[in-house]
Structure 1
Amino acid sequence: MSVSAADIDFALELFDGLGPLTHRKMMGGLCLYSDGTIFAILHSDASLWLKGAGDWADHMTAECWELWTYSRDGKKTTAMPYWRLPDAALDDPDEACRLARAALACL
């Protein structure tokens, strides 16, 4: 399954306040970049995930954001450095951009 054009448009509009963004389909979804740095992934189920590192990853963990994990064919579960964007930010572009800027500051 791939991301829909409507979902891509939504994500780009949500993060429009960050300035010019680029994107690229990969990892079964769409990677979003600001100034060449990946900061978010849009999954094919339309969920948005922010990349985390350092203090920002610690913050998202402390706030109990959902961490992206996966497992293949009975192998151990692997965690990726992405946390699901809170639902409240999906309805608030200013909040989504604030969170994305915090993520970008730690990458």
Structure 2
Amino acid sequence: MSVDEGLYAWVQEALEPLGAVTMRKMMGGATLYLDGVIFAILDDAEIWFKSDSESDSLWDGQGCERFTVTFKDGRADTMNYRRAPLDVYDDAEAMQRWAALAVEAGLRGAAKRKPKA
């Protein structure tokens, strides 16, 4: 995995009306946050949006495959991220629409992890 800095700049520009996009590099790729909420990962020149059981049908309807990682021992595992539809790479409104869906999944995931009082 590596990070396409130009893609990161595009995501920041396209999502500026929604909030601040920040990046945390890790394991050769990067995790993206919108106002502190995880919503995507960058892998090479691709963006993968956060998904969950509530949004899976929308991603499936667009043919957006799941992110798969292959470990050194040959095992493969999927993660709750979906390949971005092609229009997000040149259409700010599409980027905003799909990123908003991913942020919602990120918020739901964060809420599940918070301990109850």
Q: Which of the five TM-score ranges fits, normalised by the shorter chain? A: 0.7 to 0.9
Q: Which residue of 1 aligns with 2:21?
A: 21
- How far is the alpha carbon of 1:25 from its aligned partner? 0.8
User: In structure 2, what is the Cα distance between the partners aligned to 1:15 and 1:27?
Assistant: 24
Q: What displacement does 1:74 show?
A: 4.6
Correspondence for 2:95: 96
In the alignment, what sits opposite 2:65? 66
Moved over 4 A (4+): none
Conserved in 2, the CA contact under 8 Å of 1:67 and 1:83?
yes
Residue 79 in structure 1 maps to residue 78 in structure 2:
yes
Secondary structure of 1:14's partner? helix
Partner of residue 3, structure 1:
3
In structure 2, how many angstroms separate the alpha carbons of the residues matched to 1:83 and 1:20? 21
Gaps of 5+ in 1: none
Greater alpha carbon shift after TM alignment, 92-101 vs 55-64: 55-64
Determine the structure 2 residue equivalent to 1:33: 33
The alignment's C-alpha RMSD in Å is 1.9
Deviation per residue, 1:8-63 (Å, 9 max, x gap): 212222322321122211132121111211101111x2101100012112321243
> Structure 2: how far apart are the matches of 1:21 and 1:49?
15
CA distance in 2, matches of 1:71, 1:4: 21
Aligned residue pairs, count: 106
Larger Rg: 2
